[in-house]
Structure 1
């Protein structure tokens, strides 16, 4: 069989096509799973009125209640609140601007701002009220989907994408950081259930729609090439 010898320029183009195909496949898989998960949860909660999972989650969380655990959950839930995420997004944008990686700064700000609009729109659309008996102080606003889960997926999920694409990072460090971020992300969701300010289905819906929007918007932004911006490093 004759082996085709590609020029460096053609090989570079071929590599980009392969990367683009992989990213598109990942996007389609995540988009499909996230969309159907969100629709399935919404259908069960608002059409079938099935809330057994919420009651079981509250019962499990109640079995763990203690003063020490409550203090831990209050700290964890802070990292998914707007009090933390707004300055964290601003600082991340500034960091990438200083590092002259404009694409990442645009991606962080665009995803943060758009996700807030989507979150409030969905809350108004479904109009689900908060759990009646919060563990501590009642939370403001509507319940479905969880804003903490939604916004945390958009912020921490983007961090995971950036970490994954960082070619210079040592594999052990990269996986350690990814696992720590995943653990924090899941803990934030559980803290909302523990504090009884969100239902289990609120949190799952927030994770689902947040993942959908994160991957879709990230993919779209990566396809846009404004003049003067540094391209984000591609995944190997």
Structure 2
């Protein structure tokens, strides 16, 4: 009997869900693309004070501004402010806790708080002033990196990770994930349109968010692997001991 149980233990492996693995590959690719783009744009901005692409983005925004787009982007950007993000974080964590996903609820809160603190720390170090253009909304503090872009994108990506991991309906999982990610990008674009951030600020925010999420999810997945294997090993050992009695 001992040999039989040993073979069972040897076969125990944790296989992450296909959609979870796909998410990790997606965020890894997204991080790489954003990092390369960000280095180019931010590097250009550092050299000249206000980079070529930052200036192009500002000029383009001026050329398309109108009353309808102004209202649209003001509404969009308001959903990424600190109060709204706090409400969203508490709501998502509460739902996870309600469905007995306590570890995931804590994971979500810790990540949003952590990325917010990182954003504030980087701003305090870089101390970049906001664009000297006509701003359509009030914004205080430093400019680099964009807090709206960085924190909301992290909220969005981790929420997508949970949806892909736990949702049973594939159509719902993929459709809602695409919408959430697009909305996360819209938050960043709204900051450029409204004149409160440079393009390089927003790109940096997205990049930090993607790299942060990738790192956190990989750590989370590895910890889940160990817990799952230990849980199954303990169960087999307990069942073996009971069968020996």
- Place the TM-score, normalised by the shorter chain, in its bin: 0.7 to 0.9
Greater Rg, structure 1 or structure 2? 2
Q: Which residue of structure 1 lines up, in the alignment, with residue 143 of structure 2?
A: 143
Q: 1:124: which partner in 2?
A: 124
Secondary structure of 2:65's match?
coil
What is the Cα deviation at residue 23 of structure 1? 7.9
1:201-232: CA deviation from partner (whole Å, max 9, x where unpaired): 110010001110111122223333598xxx9x
1:47, distance to aligned residue in structure 2 (A) = 3.8
Which sits farther off after the overlay, 84-93 or 172-181? Answer: 172-181
Secondary structure of 2:13 counterpart: helix
Structure 1 residues 30 and 11, CA gap change in structure 2 (3 angstroms)? farther
Per the alignment, residue 234 of structure 2 pairs with none
The answer for the alignment partner of 1:82 in structure 2 is 82
The answer to whether residue 109 in structure 2 is matched with residue 109 in structure 1 is yes
User: Is the contact between residue 153 and residue 181 of structure 2 (CA under 8 Å) also seen in structure 1?
Assistant: no
Measure, in 1, the Cα distance between the counterparts of 2:103 and 2:29: 24
Offset of residue 182 of structure 1:
2.0
Cα distance in structure 1, aligned partners of 2:25 and 2:174: 22
For 2:176 and 2:167, locate their aligned partners in 1 and report how far apart those are by CA, in whole Å: 14
* Aligned mates of 2:181, 2:21 — CA distance in 1: 26
Deviations 1:5-42 (A, max 9, x none): xx7765551746x9999887777656655555544444
Give matches, 1:119-198, under 5 Å.
Answer: 119-169=119-169, 171-198=170-197
The residue aligned with 1:201 is: 200
Normalization by structure 2: what TM-score? 0.78
Count matched residues.
222
For the structure 1 residues 27 and 173, does the alpha-carbon distance in structure 2 shift closer, same or farther, using more than 3 Å as the test?
A: closer
Deviation at 1:43, TM superposition (A): 2.8
Cα separation, 2, equivalents of 1:114 and 1:221: 15
In 2, are the aligned partners of 1:107 and 1:218 still within 8 Å (CA)?
no
- Structure 2: gaps (5+ residues): 1-6, 232-245
Q: Which moved more, 1:37-46 or 1:62-71?
A: 37-46
Higher helix share: 2
Contact 1:160–1:181 (8 Å) recurs in 2: yes
Equivalent pair of 2:127/2:142 in contact (CA under 8 Å): yes
Matched, 1:57 2:70: no
CA distance 1:214–1:11, change in 2 (3 Å): same
Label 1:15 to 1:210 Cα distance change in 2 as closer, same or farther (>3 A). closer
Cα RMSD, aligned residues only: 3.1
Where structure 1 has 5 or more consecutive residues not aligned to the other structure, the ranges are 1-6, 232-236
What are the within-5 Å matches in structure 2 for residues 16-95 of structure 1? 35=35, 37-47=37-47, 49=49, 51-95=51-95
Task: Confirm or deny: 8 A CA contact 2:20 2:164 kept in the other structure.
Answer: no
